[in-house]
Structures are given as structure tokens and as C-alpha cells.
Structure 1
């Protein structure tokens, strides 16, 4: 009879960690948030966790299932963090502070993962997107409840704007890599979130007011039409799910005719990035030229970003979410342009320059997230309100 090996001879027994599935989801969330859904491979997610690709497939049937699970886990995690801190018996300001602190602390903990749903949700199927969105609606409702108590004169839409805006501020740290000590980061995020909640905005446009008519002439150049439709389709479907045939059909030409104007779909994407960069540069130059002082310039830049985003709502999501689809050299060049845009704006703000960059990213997040809530309503009164809301976070002197 062969003797059994001793524990020392056989070595430690390797057991699968109980939280392996969560480790995989969080690794996926980090990778998808930073580089986009399509450029990331399952094998590299598996390698980060320390397992093989086949081992990962024991937990998730495919990469799409992993995307859904990671996005849903992130949404549920934030909702649960807020729910654990929520105490309706507290005075409304204390309740609100507890809620925002819990969410802010969690956003700081998962900073590299927190941008997943914001930028990659266009790759989710409708049913999955709506189910995950429900967690964020619960979170927004929790935050909105004490806001409504604190500011009873606000309409339901105004309460929602402030709840979404405050949560957007807290999530905005996922969009950049500027660093401050954790306690200082938390204090700054809470200060900006409160600034959004207590911001005084211009009057709300009347409900059911007529939409503004079409202003300007339709572009006749096929190249410009293709670029406009490409940005719209990339923004709606995501670059990898968009087809040249669909883009061509949107302007009344077949796929082969598109190649008379652009060499490839990648060429169209690069042109869209360059167009967005040009428009942002012009917006900043116009604001600086018209400003009377630095705070005025900062407000004017906020107003122009609002107008640019609301008039072409597909532009900014494409500009900020599709970098992974570009060649590395173009990624580097356009990232540098984005950083320069933030610095140009941040340099107008008083106080610490690193805090100023946090403030600019918070303003950009508000414009996109609250814009989605308002369905990018581009009536002048709504644009003015959005400009004031974005400006509320820029500095104590710009409110």
C-alpha cells in the first residue's frame, strides 16, 4: 500500500477564492472603463486576475455577459452603498450629507471602474441597459428625497437635475487621473456636489413651450453630411457596432460611394475626433476673446461647452469614449489636446491648480449627464440653466 503524502510533501491545497467572480467583474470594469469594451480581450482580463481564458469562461459565457455583469455590479454596488447610509429619520441636510459621503467614498474606492456605464452603455442591449439604469434611478431618487425637503420650491425636474448633477460630480473622478490626498478629494467632491444642489439657476422654461425652429442652412457637402451622420451613429451604436452601409444610407448613398470621401471607417472616426477638437478649441478662443476677466472667461467656456454638447449631443460621447478605436499615435495626440483643453479652462480658476482640474472635469460631467436627463433640450432658457449649473462647481468665486 502506498503511503499517503504528508501535508508538507504535497504542498498547500489551492482553492478557488470565494470572490473570484467579483474579481473578474472588477478587472473587466477597470479595463472596459479605461480602454473601451471592444479593444479589451478576455484573455487580458483573465491574466490580470491570474487565471486562464478558459477558466474565466467557467464564470461568464462570453465577453458580452461579462460586460453586463460588470456594469450591473457597479450600479448595484453604488445603490447599496447609498442605501446602507440612508436614514430618513435624520434632518434632510444630515441625510443628504450621509448619502453623498457614502457614494463619494465608494466612487473614490472604485475610481478606475466608475466610468463603465457612462461610456460603454451603448454596447448594452436595450433590456440590459434599462435594467441597469433602474439602479441609478433608485440612487437618484434617494439623493433627490432630501433635496426636495431642503428646497421645497423646486419642481420635480429641478430636483432631478440637482440629484443627477451631484452624483455626476462624485463620479467625475473616473474621467481623469489628477490626484489629491483622499481626505481632500472627498471634501472637494462633497463641496462641489453641494454647490450643484444649492445653485441658483435662471427660471425654468415653461412646460410645453414651443421648441425653437431649425436655425441655419443644411450642409450640402456630402463629406460634411457623412461626418455629421457618422458622429450621430457612432454616438448611438458605438464605433464597432456601426456600419459604413448605415452611415452611407443616412445621407442617401451606398457604401462604396462613402469611400470616395473617406478611406475607411477608421478615417471617419479620426475626422470626427478632429472636428470635435476644432470646435472645442474655437469655443475656448471665443470665450477668452469676449471675457472681461478670468471668472467671466470660465463661465463663458461653460456656456459654450453646454451649447456645443446640446446642439451635437453625439459629439462628446464619441470624443471621450472611442479613443481605444484609434491608432496609438492618434490616441496620444488627441489625449494631449484633451489635456490642454482642461488645463486652459482650469488655469482660469482660483486656488490650487490640481483642484481646478477636478472642478473642470466635474463641470464637463454635469453637462453630459444632466444633458442626458434633459434629452439635450436646446431651448435658450435651458441652455442658460445648464451653463449656470456647470459653472456652480468651478470655484467659490464662480457660482
Structure 2
């Protein structure tokens, strides 16, 4: 499969710095966040030798204004009238699902260059309304605001993600101390990456935001005093912040990469799980993906998991046999994850692939090195994608 001339390859990857909602990116609409990274990813792909016209733009997005924000972003990016656009909503897995969707299209032979990723502007997301006593979406004069659309039908478990992380922590025996320690490590990794310039080549600077706004020095004593945010063990420090940001990659077939280094998309899966424990989704997704590809997690050099909550990450990594406080601390989110960088929901999966591209391709990893990106999805699902360095 890996020698197939239609095998999809990521040949460029860019992201914005992530802004905390209401702060640095607060004045930018979702398409205004997405357009610059589309331009940057395409420019990088052109420099790498890609000559094919852009066939499509596929973007993950969860809380946008409606309509086709991918098409709007494509037009804003100056890609021309002929480039259509499609929006994918798999909640926190949306950006990763968009890249997987683009990869399927490339593998099929239908397209030769797709820009894919995700964007989220929580700061400018419209408020949603429904009539009291009726299902969300049936708005009228008596309508009231609601925080989010349902992830499951009435009568099924549909917990808020923070509360679900608390339940998962209790079910899997994830202590408050371990959660605090993981959050501290994520911030320390991110700060070290910023200081070393490891984010410089992957980022596009918008306005005055010149670093990921969330990453900071944390005081362990202060973390220990924080009150639970949802009634259990999760706190504001061990939950990812609501954020604004975007990321995009360029996907081409093997035959069109012209020797440019990149990440070959070996395979990807999306699977469902108990909606009461949505954070568990990466476990069956990764297990199914590895079984299908005949690979072992021991073969994977870097694992990027969307850090929605420290408790959720630890429950998943424990189940997969990863020791995040010991031997595997340098390969699970090695430059920090969403806890430290921020979590723009529709973009975070694409940011994970951008991080893999920087760490493995820009970082000089040899051909054949494997990277894994995975995320939990609200409503009870998980997504995982396996990628391989090509040179």
C-alpha cells in the first residue's frame, strides 16, 4: 500500500498561534483565521515542488456561523472561484477528520491537491437559541440561548465534557495529583519549545499574537489549591481553555510529491464508544488502527493526542500502555498539547498533524518513522490517524 502512487502525503503544514477566547484573536472571524494558514500551506507546497491546482479545501469547524466557511476561507485566501470547499464537524476531532477526508479523496484519484485542516473562532461564534421545553434549534419569539447542540438523542447519556472527564477519571483511577503533574509537564514542554524556536517554522503570525497565549509558568502549589471545576478532580488548570486558532496541511498523492519530504497517511479510523465516556474514544480508535495496519505502538516515535483534559489523556495513555511521566514523556505531546497551547475545537486535530510534521519532517526523522494523531469526540467517538515519514 505504501508504494501506491495514489497514497496521500502531507507535504506542508502550518498553524496560527492559538489565542485564548476573548483575547488576541477575538476580532477575527473563523474564515479570517483559516485563510492565512491556507495561503501559507499552499506556498510551502509550491516551494516543495507541488504544481497541481488546488482541487478542494476541507476544514473542520464546530461552532461557526453556518454556511460553508471552508468555501469562504478559500475565497478569502485568493484560491480562485473554481475551488469549492467543505466543512467537517466531528467536534474535537474535526480537523483530523478533515485531513482524513482529504486523504481519502486523494487516494481515490478524484483530486491531486487538497488543503485540509480546521479553524475555530470561539470568540465570534454565534449564540444559539431554542424555545424552552423544545429541542434546540426550534427558535421563535420565546427562544432562549443554549450552550451547545446535543451530542446524543434525548434519553441517551449526553454529559458536558468536563463532567465526563471527572467520571472517566474516577472510573480509571486517575488522581488529582497525576492530573496536576501532567498539566505542569505540558506547559513546561510548550515553554521549552517556544524558547527553542521549535514553533517558528510551523506558525503564521496574525496581528499581535506572537506566541500561544495559554502557555505559561505554573506554580505547583497554586495548582494544588485550585477548586474542582466540575465537582470532581478536574480543575481550570487541568482542562484545556476555550480557544481561537486554525491549521492547514497540503495533501497530494505520492506521484505528485516530486521527492519532497512529508508524512505519508498510512490509514485512519473513526469509531464510536459509550457516549457517557466520550474521552475514552481514542482507546478503541488507536487499537483498531494499529490492528488494521499491523503496527505496534512501540513502533510509533511520536503520539499527538488532543489534550482536552489531563484526566482524559491519562486514562487513554494508561489503557494504551504509555507511561507519560516516565519512559514515554518525550514521545507523547513532546512539545506540549492543548492544555498548554490551547484547544480551538475544530482546529486541534489539524494542529496535532502540524506538530507531527514539524517534529518528524522538519526535525529530520529518518524515512519510515511513524507518528500518530488521535482525539476524543463529543458524543462518544474517537479518531486516530497513522502517518509515516517519507524522504
Shorter-chain TM-score: which interval? Answer: under 0.3
Structure whose alpha-carbon radius of gyration is higher = 1
Relative CO higher for 1 or 2, CA cutoff 8 Å, sep ≥ 6?
2
- TM-score, normalised via structure 2 length: 0.26
TM-score (norm 1): 0.25
User: Of Structure 1 and Structure 2, which has the larger fraction of its residues in strand?
Assistant: 2
